[in-house]
A = this chain, B = another copy of it.
Amino acid sequence: MTTVPDPEDLTARARIRDAAMRHIGEHGFERATIRDIAESAGVSLGLVRHHFGSKQALREACDEHLMKTIRRLSDLAASDPYGAGLNPAAVLGPYQPYLARALTEGWAAPLFDEMVDLGEGWIAEADRSRPDPPDVDARSRSTMIAAMALSATVLRRHVERGMGVDLTSPEGQVKLMRVIVDLYSHPLLSLEEAAEARKALDRGATA
């Protein structure tokens, strides 16, 4: 998107980082090998170590780059209220697979927390015009909303199969947004059903 610069123009260090993000995104951290990454970047094995020191450090550099990129893109998307807000994944483009790995393989906690922070303020504001009092704190709700928003990214393969589209394609993105807009504008539970469910929980029916 937006005319990616020719790989030849990038420094070797950047090429290695990008290759690492692709490989880790596709295969996961363990299965991604430094040798494959080096080959993908068109450099020798030793150069990877020269620039990053270790595989762990390479991963951390990728994380840092991801954070920086996401922050930049989310600032950019803040001006487009109905575009990116609902589907943060849409903005990430090629970084999506890496993000999914980062989230599910344990790291990337700060990124998730940042999303929760953002949503928390958003929710607190929405609560002011809400008729009934919320049953749970805004932060917990924001956490679940963040998790749900990321579910399409994290479970991308399954969602693509279920919806029959390629989520990296423009059509796929539009389809996904339509689904999300529809779901978000129609409650899955009526207020009565919700009240009943809460009662069941109050009775301690967890077992």
Q: List A residues at the B interface (Cβ < 8 Å).
A: 1, 28, 30-31, 80, 82-83, 86, 90, 100, 103-106, 109, 112-113, 116, 130, 134-136, 139-148, 150-152, 154-155, 157-159, 161-164, 170, 173-191, 193-194, 196-198, 200-201, 205-207
Contact between chains at B173 and A206 (CB < 8 Å): yes
Copies in the complex: 2
User: Chain A at the B interface: mostly helix, strand, loop or mixed?
Assistant: helix
- The answer on a CB contact under 8 Å between B145 and A183 is yes
Q: B187–A185 contact, CB under 8 A?
A: yes
Whether A161 pairs with B105 at a CB distance below 8 angstroms is: no
- The distance from the CB of A106 to the nearest CB of chain B, in whole angstroms, is 7
CA distance in complex: A139, B158 (Å): 13
What chain B residues lie within 8 Å of A105 (beta carbons)?
A: 28
**Bound-complex Cα distance A79 to B197 (A):** 14
Residues of B within 8 A of A112 (CB): 155, 158, 161-162
Contact check, A194 vs B185: say whether CB atoms are below 8 A apart: yes
**Residues in B whose Cβ lies below 8 Å from that of A161:** 109, 112-113
Taking a contact as CB atoms closer than 8 A, the residue among B80, B155, B184, B197 that contacts A147 in the complex is B155
Residues of B within 8 A of A136 (CB): 175, 178-179, 182
**B-chain residues with CB within 8 Å of residue A1 when the two chains form the complex:** 207
Question: CA separation between A20 and B146, bound complex, in Å?
Answer: 31
CB-defined contacts of A175 to chain B, threshold 8 Å? 136, 140
The answer to whether A100 touches B109 (Cβ under 8 A) is no
CB of A96 to closest CB in B, whole Å: 13
Could you list 8 A-B pairs, sorted by A, with CB under 8 Å? Answer: A103-B155, A104-B155, A112-B155, A113-B162, A135-B181, A136-B182, A144-B152, A151-B154
